[in-house]
Amino acid sequence: MTESLTVRDNRTGQEYDVPITDGTIRAADLGKIKASDEAPGLAVYDPGFVNTASCRSAVTYIDGDKGILEYRGYPIEQLAEHSSFLEVAYLLVHGHLPTKEQHDAWVHEITYHTFVHENVKSFMQGFRYDAHPMGMLMASVGALSTFYPESRDISDEQNRHIQIVRMIAKMPTLGAWSFRHAQGKPYVYPDNDLSYTGNFLSMLFKMSESKFDADPRLVKALDTLFILHADHEQNCSTNAVRSVGSSQVDPYSAVAAGIGALYGPLHGGANEAVLRMLKRIGNKSEIPAFIEGVKSGNERLMGFGHRVYKNYDPRATIIKKACDDVFEVTGVNPLLEIAQELEKIALEDEYFVKRRLYPNVDFYSGLIYEAFQFPPEMFTVLFAIGRTPGWLAQWSELVTDKEQKIARPKQIYTGDRTLQFTPASERWA
C-alpha cells in the first residue's frame, strides 16, 4: 500500500494527497498547495532544521531516544573497543570494513601523505603568537585548496580519493603545528614510523629526544576519542560541509567551512566551554548556586543536552570509561570531582529531567584532553581531526548523489517593500 498524507487547505477547501516515503513527505509536494493560482506555494518554516531531512545517507545511524549510534551499521561501542581510528575512517569513507590488504594499503597511503608543503609551514608561522589553533586549522585547510588545484575536479573518483587521503593524513600535522605555534615551539615533522595517533602525539609534544614514545594507554585513549567523534550524521558542521560542498567547490574549502561551524560553542566548542565552566565553579560548594543560575536562564550547563539524544549520549558512556584509563597514567584531574557532582545533581534535578538533558560527548572529553595537558583552545582541534573522515564520507556521498542540488533554503521575507530611494546628497542636505 502506498502511504500518503491527505492535506485539506482550509483557505480554499481543496484537498491534496501527498506521498509519504521513508517517513517523510517532499517539501516540494507542499509547494503545489496554493491559496490562488498566483500565490506562492506552501513552504515549511524550520529554523535550525529541527524536522527537515536534507539528504539520504548511509553513513551514520542514530536513534536518539534509545541512545544508539552506528557507523555504517556497526555499533559505536564495538568500534571504540575493537577497532582503530584509521580502520573506522576506512569504514566511513568506503562503506565497508577493509580486508587486510585494503587496510594496509590505506594505512600506508595515509601515513605517506602526512607531510605538507614547506610553504604551508611558512604561512602558519605568520599567524599572531596567540592565534586560536582552530582559526589556524580552518585557514590552513582552506589554503590547501590552493596547493592542490586539481581537487576542483570533484567528478573524478580517483581524484576525490587522493584528496580524502591527503586531508585525513594532513589534519594532525596542521593541528599539531597550530598547537606548537601558540607555545612558541618549533614545528615537529611527521614521524612515519609511528601510528596515526602516536605520530600526532609526537608532533605535539616531541622536544629534543630522537623518538617520541607516547604511553600506549594514552595513544589508545586518544584514538578512541577520535573514533567517537568520527561522524554524527547531519550535525551543524557536516551540514556546513554539505551545504558549501553543494556548490561543487573543492573538498578543502568545504571542510574548512565545517571547521568554522565546529568552532562555535554550541557545537565542537562545547568541551572548551565545559572546562572553563568547571574551572569557574572551582569548588563543589559553588555548584548549587551555579545550577540555580542555569535554571534561571542566566547560562547553560555546558556539556549537557543534545538535539538528538534525549536519553543519554552513548559516546559519553564510553568517554567516562576512557577517563579512568587516562587518569591511571596522568593522575586524576581535580576538576573530575566537580564534574561528577554536577552530573549527579543535574540528573536528579527536575529542570534537567523534564527537558531530558543528559551529559553529552563533551562533558567528559575536556577533562581527558586537559589530562593530556592540552589547553582548552586545542580541544576543538582534536574534535576536528576525529570528525574529518565523517565530513569526507558525507561529502563523497553528497557529490555522487543525483538527488542533491545546490543548497538554497527559502525565507519568509519580513522587511519593507517598494520604498523610494533618495540619493545621499539629498538625504543629507
> Using CB under 6 A as the criterion, which residues of the chain lie in contact with ligand CMC when the complex forms?
232, 235, 266-268, 270, 294, 300-307, 355, 357, 360-362
Catalytic (active site) residue 231: no
Catalytic (active site) residue 161: no
Q: Are the C-beta atoms of 293 and 48 separated by less than 8 Å?
A: no
Q: Collect all residues with Cβ–Cβ distance below 8 Å to 401 and sequence separation of at least 6.
A: 55, 56
CA dist 114 and 118 (Å) reads 12
Q: Which is nearer to ligand CMC, 141 or 357 (CB)?
A: 357
Candidates 113, 231, 306, 313; catalytic one: 306
Main-chain phi, psi angles of 63, to 5 degrees: -115, 100
Smallest distance from the beta carbon of 357 to ligand CMC, in angstroms? 5
Q: Which is nearer to ligand CMC, 270 or 384 (CB)?
A: 270
DSSP 187: P
> With the C-alpha atoms ordered 191, 195, 196, 201, is the resulting torsion angle positive or negative?
negative
CA dist 341 and 284 (Å) reads 7
> With the C-alpha atoms ordered 80, 81, 86, 89, is the resulting torsion angle positive or negative?
negative
Q: Which is nearer to ligand CMC, 167 or 277 (CB)?
A: 277
Instruction: Give strand pairing partners of 17.
Output: 6
Candidates 94, 117, 161, 267; catalytic one: 267
Smallest distance from the beta carbon of 253 to ligand CMC, in angstroms? 22
Q: Which is nearer to ligand CMC, 137 or 294 (CB)?
A: 294
Smallest distance from the beta carbon of 178 to ligand CMC, in angstroms? 20
CA dist 72 and 309 (Å) reads 19
CA dist 111 and 394 (Å) reads 22
Q: Which is nearer to ligand CMC, 245 or 303 (CB)?
A: 303
Smallest distance from the beta carbon of 313 to ligand CMC, in angstroms? 7
The three grid cell numbers given for residue 335, joined into one nine-digit string: 576538576
Smallest distance from the beta carbon of 108 to ligand CMC, in angstroms? 32
CA dist 239 and 407 (Å) reads 10
Q: Are the C-beta atoms of 67 and 313 separated by less than 8 Å?
A: yes
Q: What is the CA radius of gyration of the chain?
A: 24
Please calculate the CA angle 80-132-244 and round it to the nearest 5 degrees: 70
Residue 283 CA, chain-centre distance (Å), reads: 31
CA dist 330 and 369 (Å) reads 11
Using alpha carbons, select from 270, 271, 290 the residue that is nearest to residue 280. Answer: 290
Smallest distance from the beta carbon of 246 to ligand CMC, in angstroms? 21
Q: Which is nearer to ligand CMC, 262 or 398 (CB)?
A: 262
Smallest distance from the beta carbon of 36 to ligand CMC, in angstroms? 36
Tell me which residue has its CB nearest to ligand CMC.
Answer: 305
Q: Which is nearer to ligand CMC, 325 or 349 (CB)?
A: 349
Grid cell 525565507 in the structure block, residue = 411
CA dist 386 and 161 (Å) reads 18
Smallest distance from the beta carbon of 294 to ligand CMC, in angstroms? 5
Q: Which is nearer to ligand CMC, 96 or 280 (CB)?
A: 280
CA dist 156 and 161 (Å) reads 9
Catalytic (active site) residue 325: no
Grid cell 584531574 in the structure block, residue = 333
Active site residues: 267, 306, 362
